[in-house]
Amino acid sequence: MLNSESFLQKIEYLQPCSADKKYLLAISGGADSMALLNLFSASKFTFQVAHVNYKLRGLESDLDQELVENFCSQNNISLHIYEVSNKDEPPKNSVQTWARKLRYAFFKKIKHQENLEFLVTAHHLNDDLETFFINLSRGSGLKGLSGIPSNKNNILRPFLHFSKQEIYDYCAQNEVPFREDASNKKNDYLRNKIRNEIVPKLLETNEHYLKNFQKSILYLKQNERFIEKQIADIEEQILINEKPDKTIYDREFFAHQEEFVKFEILRKFGFVDIQEIEKIFLAKTGKSFFSERYHLLINRNEIILKQTTEKTEDFSEIIILTEFYKDDKNIVNLKKIISEYSTTSNDIFLEKPWEFDAEKINLPLKLRHWKSGDKFYPAGMFGSKKVSKFFKDEKISLVDKEEIWLLVDGNDDILGIIPYRQDRRFIPEIKTAYYITIK
| pLDDT (average), residues 387-395 | 89
Report the C-alpha gap between 54 and 83 in whole angstroms: 6
> How open is the CA angle 243-279-225, to the nearest 5 degrees?
55
Confidence of residue 94 (pLDDT cuts 50, 70, 90): confident
CB atoms within 10 A of CB 361: 21
Confidence of residue 218 (pLDDT cuts 50, 70, 90): very high
- With residues binned 3-state (H G I as helix, E B as strand, rest as coil), the percentages for the chain, rounded to 5, are 45, 20, 40
Which is nearest to 68 in space by CA: 104, 38, 27?
A: 27
Over residues 376-390, the pLDDT tens digits come to 999 989 999 999 899
Peptide bond into 364 cis (omega under 30): yes
| Residue set of the binding site for ATP | 28-33
- What is the Cα 423 distance to its own chain's centre? 41
Q: In angstroms, how far is the first alpha carbon of the chain from the final one?
A: 68
Report the C-alpha gap between 278 and 427 in whole angstroms: 50
Is residue 51 within 8 Å of residue 177, measured between CB atoms?
Answer: no
SS3 per-residue string spanning 26-85: ECCCCHHHHHHHHHHHCCCCEEEEEEEECCCCCHHHHHHHHHHHHHHHHCCCCEEEEECC
Over residues 264-317, the pLDDT tens digits come to 999 999 998 889 999 999 998 888 888 888 889 888 899 999 887 544 344 567
| Residue set of the binding site | 28-33
Is residue 3 within 8 Å of residue 11, measured between CB atoms?
Answer: no
Q: Exposure string (b/e) for 203-215, b if CB count within 10 Å is 16 or more?
A: beeeeeebeebbe
Over residues 316-359, the pLDDT tens digits come to 678 888 877 766 567 887 777 766 665 554 455 677 889 899 88
Least confident of 33-47, 235-249, 295-309, 403-417: 295-309
Greatest C-alpha distance within the chain: 96
Phi (first) and psi of residue 47, to 5 degrees = -155, 160
Q: Answer positive or negative: Cα dihedral of 189, 153, 276, 259.
A: negative
Residue 316's pLDDT is what? Answer: 66
User: Is residue 202 left, alpha or beta, with left meaning phi > 0 and alpha meaning psi from -120 to 50?
Assistant: alpha
Which is nearest to 194 in space by CA: 141, 131, 149?
A: 131
Over residues 141-199, the pLDDT tens digits come to 788 899 899 999 999 999 999 999 999 999 999 999 999 988 888 887 888 999 999 99
Q: Which CATH architecture has domain 4-221?
A: 3-Layer(aba) Sandwich (3.40)
SS3 per-residue string spanning 214-256: HHHHHHHHHHHHHHHHHHHHHHHHHEEEEECCEEEEEHHHHHC
Q: Is the pTM of this model over 0.75?
A: no
User: Is residue 380 left, alpha or beta, with left meaning phi > 0 and alpha meaning psi from -120 to 50?
Assistant: left
Residue 311's pLDDT is what? Answer: 43
Q: Answer positive or negative: Cα dihedral of 392, 394, 395, 398.
A: negative
Over residues 397-425, the pLDDT tens digits come to 777 787 788 999 999 999 999 889 999 99
Give the DSSP letter string of 128-146.
Answer: HHHHHHHHHHTT-HHHHHT
Helix (H, G, I), strand (E, B) or coil at 19: helix
Residue 312's pLDDT is what? Answer: 38
Q: Report domain extents, the chain.
A: 4-221, 244-307, 317-438
User: Which amino acid does the sequence have at 360?
Assistant: K
Over residues 97-153, the pLDDT tens digits come to 888 989 999 999 999 999 999 999 999 999 999 999 999 988 877 888 998 999 999
Q: Which CATH code for domain 317-438?
A: 3.50.40.10
In whole numbers, what is the pLDDT of the chain averaged over residues? 89
